[in-house]
Structure 1
Amino acid sequence: MSCLLYFCRILCLVIALPFQIMDIVGLYAFYKRLFPLFAYNITFSYNDKMHETKRDLFRNLYKFTGPDGTLRLLEIGCGSGANFKFYPDGCTVICTDPNPHFERYLQMSMDASKHLTYERFLVMSGEDMKEVRDESVDVVVCTLVLCSVSNVKRVLEEARRILKTGGAFYFMEHVVSEPSSWTYFFQHVLQPLWYYLGDGCTITRTTWKDLEGARFSELHLRHFEAPGVTITIKPHITGYAIK
């Protein structure tokens, strides 16, 4: 299987070569402008398939409401606002994303989610959230984002920094499969092409290990197979960690 994997990966690298050239000469930036449109449309299908899982994940958000009766939530890589409908009434949301071209689609989701209060949209990466004060939010949410950041450990450090003591970090991510599976095979074969089509998405990460080493006081994590999605992103993890 290793020889077949090597051969197929080389083939995929060749197919991905035009994207690599576009990236080198600066033309890939045009795709970054289009990517929010693709992501926005994919969101509807993904949310339909993951509705029950997301509902269960965010069911206990209210437990982290601050002593003043408000729940301040910051979402890393909010994209087009796919999680908004799962947040409790009255929640104050701070949105962040490194791609400013998501704002148009984000506003559409805001307009459709009148039960929330939106504080601001910050264009910044999860690795560097210096505009957000230490221990200033009750909850940090990060779904389908840690696959595309450049430094997972740094993002988790930043999440811990801005969380109040006793606050929670909620996550849902696709991860690498078991090495003996066909899913693992296709993940490693398609990774070079997937990276460009997914705007930096990596499908071979062991993100649960980063969470286990992130120095949260509690970690509630489970592995599951996402229903109805492409084989390359079927293995998922979900849960929350408490500072």
Structure 2
Amino acid sequence: MSFLMTFCTLVVRVFCFPLHLLDAVGLYKHYKRIVPLLLFRITKLYNKKMYERKKELFACLSDFKQSGQNLTILEIGCGTGSNFHFYPSGCKVICTDNNVHFEKYLRRNMRENPHVAYEKFMETSAEDMRSFEDSCVDVVVCTLVLCSVDNVPKTLKEVQRVLRPGGAFFFLEHVAAEPSSWTYFFQSILKPLCYYIGDGCEVTRATWTHLEAAGFSDLKLRHIKAPLIFFNKPHIMGYGVK
């Protein structure tokens, strides 16, 4: 299988050469203007497929609200705001993304979910949230983001910094399949294409290893099979308490 994987990966890399070239000369950055439109449509389908999983994941968000105060959620890599529907009424939401072109679609989803109080949007990377003070939010949410950040451990360190003691980090991520499986085979050969189409997505990332090493006081992590296309089925979901 290893020879076949190497050969097929080479074929895909050749196919992706125009994308490599665009990236090398600085033109690929214009793709970031297109990504929000594509993801606005894709996430609607994803939410439909993953509705029960997301509903289950976010069911206990309110457990992390401080007495007498509204729940404050920081969503990193918020994209188009596809999670707002699942947030509890009255919560305050702060949104960040490293692509400012998402804000148009973000505001559209906010109008469709008036039960959520939209506080602000900030263009920043998940690895560097220096604009936020230490221990300033109750919950951090991250869905389908850790696959594309440049540095997962650094991102999780920032997450823990901005969480108040006893706050929680909620996550839902697609991850690498078992290395000996055909799913992993196709993840590996499609990796170069997914990187460009998915704006930096690494489909073979073993994200759970970083979460397990992050030092959460309590980590609830489950591996699940999502009802999606075969190479994107492996997911993890859960939350970690600071």
TM-score range, shorter chain: over 0.9
Give the counterpart letter for 2:65 in structure 1: T
1:168 deviates by 0.3
1:135-194 deviation line (CA, Å, top 9, x unaligned): 000000000000000000011000000000000000000000001111000000010111
In 1, the alpha carbon distance for the partners of 2:231 and 2:126 equals 24
The residue aligned with 2:32 is: 32
In 2, the alpha carbon distance for the partners of 1:131 and 1:75 equals 14
- Name segments (4+ residues, structure 1) moved above 3 Å: none
In 1, the alpha carbon distance for the partners of 2:194 and 2:57 equals 27
- Please tell me whether residue 122 in structure 1 is matched to residue 143 in structure 2: no
The residue aligned with 1:16 is: 16
The residue aligned with 1:163 is: 163
The residue aligned with 1:211 is: 211
In 2, the alpha carbon distance for the partners of 1:7 and 1:231 equals 21
Give the counterpart letter for 1:240 in structure 2: Y
The residue aligned with 1:233 is: 232
- Please tell me whether residue 67 in structure 1 is matched to residue 67 in structure 2: yes
In 2, the alpha carbon distance for the partners of 1:232 and 1:210 equals 21
1:11 deviates by 0.4
In 2, the alpha carbon distance for the partners of 1:23 and 1:230 equals 27
1:67 deviates by 2.6
What secondary structure, in the 3-state scheme, does the structure 2 residue paired with 1:58 have?
helix
| Superposition CA RMSD, Å | 0.6
1:18 deviates by 0.5
1:233 deviates by 1.3
> How do residues 184-203 of structure 1 correspond to structure 2 at under 5 angstroms?
184-203=184-203
What secondary structure, in the 3-state scheme, does the structure 2 residue paired with 1:59 have?
helix
The residue aligned with 1:151 is: 151
In 2, the alpha carbon distance for the partners of 1:26 and 1:6 equals 28
The residue aligned with 1:141 is: 141
The residue aligned with 1:224 is: 224
1:68 deviates by 3.0
1:31 deviates by 0.9
What secondary structure, in the 3-state scheme, does the structure 2 residue paired with 1:81 have?
coil
What secondary structure, in the 3-state scheme, does the structure 2 residue paired with 1:122 have?
strand
1:94 deviates by 0.2
In 2, the alpha carbon distance for the partners of 1:220 and 1:3 equals 38
Give the counterpart letter for 2:30 in structure 1: F
> How do residues 73-152 of structure 1 correspond to structure 2 at under 5 angstroms?
73-152=73-152
1:185-225 deviation line (CA, Å, top 9, x unaligned): 00000101110011000100010000000011000000011
Q: TM-score normalised to the size of structure 1?
A: 0.99
Q: TM-score normalised to the size of structure 2?
A: 0.99
In 2, the alpha carbon distance for the partners of 1:41 and 1:180 equals 33
What secondary structure, in the 3-state scheme, does the structure 2 residue paired with 1:60 have?
helix
Please, which runs of 5 or more residues in structure 2 have no aligned partner? none
1:232 deviates by 2.1
In 1, the alpha carbon distance for the partners of 2:122 and 2:214 equals 24
Give the counterpart letter for 2:11 in structure 1: L
